[in-house]
Amino acid sequence: MGEVFAAHDEKLDRTVAVKVIANARLDSEASRKLFLREARAAAALDHPFICTVHDVLDRGGEPVIVMERVEGETLQQRIARGAIPTDQLVSISVEVAEALAAAHARGIVHRDIKSGNIMIAPSGHVKVMDFGLATIVSSSPDEATAHRSEEISARIVGTLPYIAPEILRGENASPASDVYALGVVMFEMATARRPFDTRTDALLMSDILNREAPSPRKLNPALPRTLDELIVRMLAKDPARRPAIAELQSQLAAKPEKRQRSLAVLPFQLLTHDAENVHLGLALADAVTSELALVQSLLVRPTAAILKYQTTSDPIAAARDLGVDAVVAGTVQRAGSRLRVTVQLVSASEERPLWSTKIDTTFEDIFAMQDEVSRKIVAALQLELTPRDEQRLAKRVQASGDVLDLIIRGRVTLLTETIAAVNEAIENFERAHELEPENPLPLIGLSDAYGRLAYTWDPEGGWWERAKEMCERALAFDPDLPEGHYMQARIAWTPQGGFQHEYAMRELVAALGERPNLTEGFDWLATLLFHVGLIEEGSEQFARAISINPADATALSHSIVLQLVVRRYDEVLRGADLLPKGSDSSWADYVTVLAHLHLGDLAAAERLIDTASRKFPTQILFHCGRAILEALKGNEQAAQQAIERTLRNRKPYGHFHHAQFDVACALAVLGRNDEAVGWLNDAVHGGFPCLAAIENEPLLEHLRGASAYRSLVARLRQSRDHFASLWTTLKPRLTSLS
């Protein structure tokens, strides 16, 4: 409509925006008068979500609007980075609707609501811009007639993709026209596309007038059904069918009903017992779990969470213990390659079976059995498979009966993470690979097993290289295999892989978008986010892992360290006490040592270092913990000896950067600042560029004034901001739990 300038208001000493309207746009004196009248009406609007109009001037016949200068980005710019998560979509829509309600109450219709006219301020709140096209909705028939005669030559005003059908038909704008435009904006936020977006204006006008708006949920299955239905109503051709602004506000304010249900598949009970089939009950449970875990609206406890129920005879007690709505329980009898399986779905609240069946099948038809059981369970729980769910189920990789048997044996064996178990799993995966050389599942199993060997026991044994080779071979057969992307991330986020933070983050999001119940994927993602300085974001993903498996020892023990970073040392100790009984984690002991050190309880820290060093003799973290202890006691010689032990026992373990960080803390306590900064830089380059850890650490207090320390912090702040921006673009790709 004209040009906009930043200007200084000398009277009130503030920066404002000045919009100069080109005379060519207002080609008559009547048009200029009408425009000034409407702009002054907009200036009367005083609302936190509307850009304030400070003044409207007539500069030699040229209208000038003086407005609030709004910082931030337009909603259009935000949508260009991808669809907006549901909670943010709703909060933005609520504020725009509130702004429109305030305008409509004063008889003002905006007429140009679009994503480019909605600003997101740094606070996160919106500002609706540009009421320059606003129309006064007159109540007097005579006034309305005069108004239409002034406006008739420029009735179709606005931005075409957002213009309501009635305006294209030649009718006047009304509040319902703004509701339609907001519906287009909400569709755009949900899908990163407009409902009608053809290449020419003529075709676009035809679509707006004649085609029914598509369902945004077809493009974004994670969108709640109630929100999908509301957007479709807002885009109705008939203005009378659209919700009034008050109804729209009410529906947006209503909390969408949670559709997600929770479930666990208990190990199937064997009716015949022999050594050959001892794995079968757990194997079938794992197979059904893997299938059901593909359904977005169903939270499924992983196989690791149901190991202790292999001999249970009370499914209702198990359901309550696991904290789920229902459990799947069953029996299995094997005769050669034939299986007789009985399955029932038991409700925890109703304490009765909701559905049961008996299936005679073979290992060759095990996929058909999984599919039948899964779909009947979904129906019994009154869930709905989304198009995305159907796509996941259709894309799952299959295997023949004997190969599937070996793959399941390998997966189940890996649940017990000992050297013997990992080697047994490798043998099963190798035999499966020999039978089906082009099936990617045995290769992914081998990659996982080799990765565990490298991570836990032998980082210098060449196992990471083998894990990488197996993963690459699997992805050569199926480039979209989610488990392949998960392993790619694990391999890349190691010392051997160079701690490729960004690449690993993208690969984990790709895997989790297709496997929404992959607990260990959330564990790795949370750990990675914390390491690059995104503390709250990491905490969210640990919480998500724990929501899938409340007994997830990795998530529970590793999430404690986030409390350490924000100096909640008492919370660290409480969290360690709440770990599941039987959890024997060197990481939890290590973090507890650090909490005692920071609380000044050196005696408790020393006792735990002594016992943990005996329990975990190869764990170097207790050597560097001792270095801090001795430094705090003022014993520089003993601290130096502990640092040297840390170096002598160094191997390319994934967590060595924490040892480097701790050595830096010990050296800073001793006043050896240059050495301390050097070790901090080593920790950063070794995979721990965590700004919060370095800024918040009280043991580094003596380094604050050092220029090298300040330079490091500045670099880490840039790094943190980069990863925060990246996470903003990646997070919406994770399957939301609606």
Q: Looking at the annotation, which residues are catalytic?
A: 112
Q: Which residues neighbour 297 within 8 Å (Cβ) at sequence distance 6 or greater?
A: 259, 260, 261, 383, 384, 386, 389, 738
Distance CA 165, CA 592 (A): 65
Q: How far apart are CA 66 and CA 709, in angstroms?
A: 46
Nearest of 636, 641, 627, 680 to residue 657 by alpha carbon: 680
**CA-based nearest residue to 33, from 139, 111, 146:** 146
- What angle in degrees, to the nearest 10, is found between the helix axes of 175-191 and 86-105? 170
With residues binned 3-state (H G I as helix, E B as strand, rest as coil), the percentages for the chain, rounded to 5, are 60, 10, 30
CA dihedral for 667, 672, 673, 678, sign (positive or negative): negative
Give the whole-angstrom CA distance, residue 327 versus residue 653. Answer: 39
Taking the C-alpha atoms of residue 478 and residue 363, their distance in angstroms, rounded to an integer, is 23
Q: Can you tell me whether residue 338 is helix, strand or coil?
A: strand
Cα 357 from chain centre:
37
- Would residue 323 be called left, alpha or beta, if left means φ above 0 and alpha means ψ between -120 and 50 degrees? left
Between CA 562 and CA 572 the distance in angstroms is: 9
Q: Which residues of 477-495 are buried (b: 16+ CB within 10 A; e: fewer)?
A: bbeebbbbbbbbbbbbbbb
Who's near 535: CB < 8 A, 6+ residues apart?
Answer: 562, 565, 566, 692
Nearest to 559 by CA among 579, 535, 581, 539: 539
* DSSP classification of residue 50: B
> Whole-angstrom Cα distance, residue 622 to residue 588?
12
Going by the DSSP 8-state scheme, the letter that residue 244 receives in this structure is P
**Cα 398-403-409 angle, rounded to 5 deg:** 105
**Among candidates 636, 655, 656, which has minimal Cα distance to 647?**
656
Of 228, 214, 215, 206, nearest to 89 by C-alpha is 228
> Which H or E element spans position 322?
helix 315-322
Token pair, residue 460, equals 């210098």
Tokens of 99: 């702004």
